[in-house]
Amino acid sequence: MAEEADIAALSFEDALKELERIVARLESGEAQLQEAIDLYERGDQLRRQCAARLDAAQARIEAIRTDAEGRPTGTTAFNAG
């Protein structure tokens, strides 16, 4: 659980940088099996954290784009009649 708390404390940018380092290490093929497994697990946790942060940012953007009546702003309404 300490690792998950550690990852949750990272900014999106820091988590992404660490994930990039992990991917590079795994792609190099130099990691021993146990290290590769550990790196993969941490990379997966970082990926999930980054995805959650992106989802939260997307939700905030959508909330900003929605007006008080719940309609998206910046769109043109067409009458079907």
- Kindly tell me if the per-residue pLDDT of 76 is higher than 90: no
State pLDDT tens for residues 4-63.
779 999 999 999 999 999 999 999 999 999 999 999 999 999 999 999 999 999 999 988
Residues near 68 by beta carbon (within 8 Å), at least 6 away in sequence: none
Question: For residue 80, what pLDDT is reported?
Answer: 46
- Kindly tell me if the per-residue pLDDT of 78 is higher than 60: no
**Cβ-based burial of 31 (10 A; exposed 0-12, middle 13-18, buried ≥19):** middle
* Domains of the chain, residue spans: 2-65
Main-chain dihedrals φ then ψ at residue 80, nearest 5 degrees:
-85, -5
Residues near 43 by beta carbon (within 8 Å), at least 6 away in sequence: 19, 22, 23, 26
